[in-house]
Amino acid sequence: MSTPRAAALAGVLFALLFGTVLVLVRLALPEGAEPGSQWLIAGDTNLRVAAILMPFAGIAFLWFIGVVRDGFGAYEDKFFSTVFIGSGLLYLAMMFVAVGVGAGLEATNSLIVDPDAHAEVATFGQMFLLSVSKTYALRMGAVFMISLATIWLRTGLMPRWLSVTTYVLALGLILASDITMWLTLAFPAWVLVVSVLLLARAGLVAREPR
């Protein structure tokens, strides 16, 4: 496969898998319910499936990062590329931790027999999962978006409107990430849009350095 098409396919796969993971986690933690109690029975299957899908979403995202970076070619800027790679890896690592915590808490349904202890562990785990995914990981995702948009804006490798839209969306995520976990879906949705554009441009001849 050519580099642009490979990046686009990896991005589409990541967006679909990761979007599914986030929806499953959110459905297992419905807003407004009592913390630590709502997912102990009804949501355990969701968390189990999310934990199975997450590693494959992570592999697709790593491929997406690598191939997108390869597409920079001679236009690559070391400073912004470092921020781009670092924030992407931090985002992925924290989402791995968040989903891993969910999988661990799902396992407590059969391992912790004391109902009171189970509820306390579940409450702690839920707050930890939400904090890591919304407060920290999503903001790292926003930094990933900003660094990539800056590279696109300075090189002209992607449409200007995409860079501007990315800046606006990333700023919104930084300021409002704690409002609801549904906002985490904005990141895979953005990756999906970028991937579709890469697929549309896959037949273009690679640009030469100026």
- With beta carbons less than 8 A apart as the criterion, state whether 39 and 28 touch: yes
- With beta carbons less than 8 A apart as the criterion, state whether 46 and 24 touch: yes
From first to last of its 210 residues, the chain has per-residue pLDDT tens of 456 566 678 889 999 999 999 988 888 776 655 655 555 555 567 888 888 999 999 999 998 888 888 777 777 778 888 899 999 999 999 999 999 888 887 777 666 566 666 677 777 878 888 889 888 999 999 999 999 999 988 888 888 999 999 999 999 999 987 887 788 899 999 999 998 888 887 654 344 443
Q: Collect all residues with Cβ–Cβ distance below 8 Å to 118 and sequence separation of at least 6.
A: 40, 108, 109, 112
What one-letter code names the amino acid at 33?
A
Q: What is the CA radius of gyration of the chain?
A: 19
DSSP structure string for 51-117: HHHHHHHHHHHHHHHHHHHHTTGGG--HHHHHHHHHHHHHHHHHHHHHHHHHHHHHHHHHH---HHH
